[in-house]
C-alpha cells in the first residue's frame, strides 16, 4: 500500500442525531424492555436485566421480605443459577411467583476461533439472529475480555471493520453481560478473567442506558462483584456521555480513541470529530473527574504514512501535554478491503520515543489474533460472506 492518505472525502454514512441514536437503535424487540409497572407486559421480563432496587420492589409486592431480592441476585450472579427451581433456599411459592413474572435468559451460544498466540475470538449468537464478537486475550497472569456493546456501529471510523456493518441495534444489558458467561465457558484450566474492556463492536456510550445498567450489575456487590478499576470503557469521543459516565462510575477507567492530531485528519478517520472536534474533546478530558493517581488513556492506531510521522508525534505531545494522560499505540490489525496498512515497527518505536521525550507515558499494544481474523467485526463479516 502506498503511503498516501486515501480519498475519504465522499460521505461515509455518518448522519444521525446523537441525542436520539441510542433509542432509535433500540427497538422494543425484547420482553425485558417493556414497562415493568405493567404486570401483564412484564410477565416475561428477563430477571438478568433487573437492578437490585427493581427486584426489591417486586419482592415487597409479593409480600416477601426485602432480603429475598439479594438472595435471588446471589443465585444469578455468584452461583450461576439458570432456573428459579435451582434457588433452593427460596420457598416453592416464591419461586412460582418469580417464574410467573420473569424468565432467566440462557447463556448465549458462541463459535470460537483460537489463535496460536492464545487469543480466542467468540462469535456470540443472539436470540434474534444477530451476532456479536467478544475476544479473550491472555497475557501472563492477566486475562482480558473485550466486550461488544452494540451489534454493528454507527460511528463510521474508516479503519474499523465493524463500521462496514453499520448499526443494526443496541445490545440489552443481559446481552452485554451474557458475553462474560459465554467467555467463561471457553477458559482454559486455571484461567480466570481479570480485566474487562468495552472495545468490541459498537460505541459503548451511544448505548448509554444499557451500558450503565450492565456496569452496575458487573461492579455491584449484589451483582458480579467485579472491581470497577478492572473495567475500561472506550469511546471515540461522545463528550457529554464521557462526563456523565465518570460522574456515575468514578472508578471505571476511560479510554478515548484519538487516532489523529489534527481536525482535518480526524474528521476523516473518525467522523464524530465533526460533532466534537479535538479542542472540545481535549477540554472535556481536562475537566473529567479523574482521581489523583489515575489518567485518561488515549488510543492511537498506527497507520502507515497516515498518522505516524514525527510531526504527528510532536503534535500529540502538545495536545496532551497538560493532561493526566497515557497513550496506547495500537498496531493496526488489517482486514480484507482495509484501506490502510500497519506502521512499520521502526515508525511505531520512533513515535513512542518522541512521546516519552515529551514526558508522556506511551506503550505499544501489539496486534493479537491475526491468524483468526481478530480485527473487530472481521469474524462477523466472514460469517455473512460464508
Taking the complete model, does pTM exceed 0.85, yes or no? yes
> Which among 95, 94, 69 is positioned nearest to 84, based on CA atoms?
95
- The number of beta carbons lying within 10 Å of the beta carbon of residue 145 is 23
CA distances to 314, 348, 374 from 344, in Å: 18, 6, 20
Active-site residue identified among 146, 153, 285, 376: 376
**Catalytic (active site) residue 160:** no
Give 279-297 pLDDT, tens digit per residue: 999 999 999 887 777 889 9
Q: How far apart are CA 352 and CA 348, in angstroms?
A: 6
**Domains, the chain, ordered by start:** 31-103 (1.10.150.530), 107-385 (3.20.20.70)
* Per-residue pLDDT at 7: 42
Q: Which residue has the cell 405493567?
A: 38
* Per-residue pLDDT at 18: 40
Grid coordinates of 376? 473487530
Q: Which residues of the chain have pLDDT under 70?
A: 1-43, 368-386
* Per-residue pLDDT at 9: 37
Burial category of 374 from C-beta neighbours within 10 Å (exposed 0-12, middle 13-18, buried 19 and up): buried
* Per-residue pLDDT at 17: 43
* Per-residue pLDDT at 177: 97
HEC string of 262-327? Answer: CHHHHHHHCHHHHCCCHHHHHHHHHCCCCCCCCCEEEEEEEECCCCCCHHHHHHHHHHHCCCCEEE
* Per-residue pLDDT at 373: 59
* Per-residue pLDDT at 11: 34
**Catalytic (active site) residue 133:** yes
* Per-residue pLDDT at 44: 82
* Per-residue pLDDT at 372: 65
Active-site residue identified among 133, 158, 175, 203: 133
Amino acid at each position: 500500500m502506498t503511503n498516501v492518505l486515501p480519498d475519504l472525502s465522499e460521505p461515509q454514512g455518518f448522519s444521525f442525531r446523537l441525542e436520539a441514536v441510542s433509542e432509535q437503535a433500540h427497538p422494543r424487540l425484547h420482553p425485558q424492555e417493556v414497562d415493568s409497572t405493567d404486570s401483564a407486559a412484564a410477565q416475561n421480563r428477563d430477571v438478568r436485566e433487573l437492578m437490585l432496587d427493581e427486584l426489591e420492589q417486586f419482592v415487597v409486592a409479593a409480600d416477601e421480605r426485602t432480603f429475598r431480592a439479594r438472595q435471588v441476585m446471589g443465585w444469578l450472579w455468584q452461583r450461576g443459577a439458570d432456573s428459579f427451581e435451582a434457588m433452593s433456599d427460596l420457598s416453592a411459592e416464591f419461586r412460582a411467583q418469580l417464574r410467573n413474572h420473569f424468565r432467566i435468559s440462557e447463556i448465549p451460544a458462541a463459535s470460537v476461533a483460537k489463535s496460536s498466540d492464545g487469543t480466542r475470538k467468540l462469535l456470540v449468537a443472539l436470540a434474534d439472529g444477530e451476532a456479536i464478537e467478544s475476544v479473550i486475550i491472555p497475557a501472563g497472569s492477566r486475562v482480558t475480555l473485550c466486550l461488544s456493546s452494540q451489534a454493528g456501529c454507527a460511528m463510521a471510523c474508516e479503519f474499523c471493520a465493524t463500521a462496514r456493518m453499520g448499526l443494526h441495534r443496541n445490545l440489552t444489558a443481559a446481552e452485554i453481560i451474557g458475553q462474560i458467561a459465554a467467555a467463561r465457558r471457553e477458559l482454559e484450566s486455571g484461567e480466570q478473567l481479570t480485566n474487562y474492556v468495552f472495545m468490541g463492536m459498537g460505541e459503548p456510550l451511544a448505548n448509554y442506558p444499557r451500558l450503565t445498567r450492565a456496569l452496575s450489575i458487573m461492579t455491584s456487590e449484589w451483582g458480579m462483584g467485579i472491581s470497577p478499576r478492572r473495567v475500561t470503557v472506550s469511546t471515540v469521543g461522545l463528550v457529554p456521555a464521557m462526563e456523565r459516565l465518570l460522574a456515575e462510575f468514578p472508578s471505571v477507567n476511560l479510554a478515548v480513541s484519538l487516532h489523529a492530531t489534527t481536525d482535518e485528519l480526524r474528521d476523516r478517520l473518525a467522523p464524530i470529530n465533526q460533532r466534537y472536534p479535538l479542542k472540545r474533546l481535549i477540554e472535556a478530558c481536562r475537566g473529567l473527574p479523574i482521581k489523583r493517581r489515575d489518567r485518561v488513556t488515549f488510543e492511537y492506531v498506527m497507520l502507515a504514512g497516515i498518522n505516524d510521522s514525527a510531526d504527528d508525534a510532536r503534535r500529540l505531545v502538545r495536545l496532551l501535554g497538560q493532561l493526566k494522560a497515557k497513550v496506547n499505540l495500537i498496531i493496526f490489525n488489517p482486514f480484507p478491503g482495509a484501506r490502510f496498512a500497519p506502521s512499520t515497527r521502526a515508525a511505531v518505536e520512533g513515535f513512542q520515543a518522541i512521546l516519552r521525550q515529551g514526558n508522556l507515558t506511551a506503550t505499544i499494544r501489539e496486534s493479537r489474533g491475526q491468524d483468526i481474523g481478530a480485527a473487530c467485526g472481521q469474524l462477523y463479516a466472514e460469517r455473512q460472506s460464508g
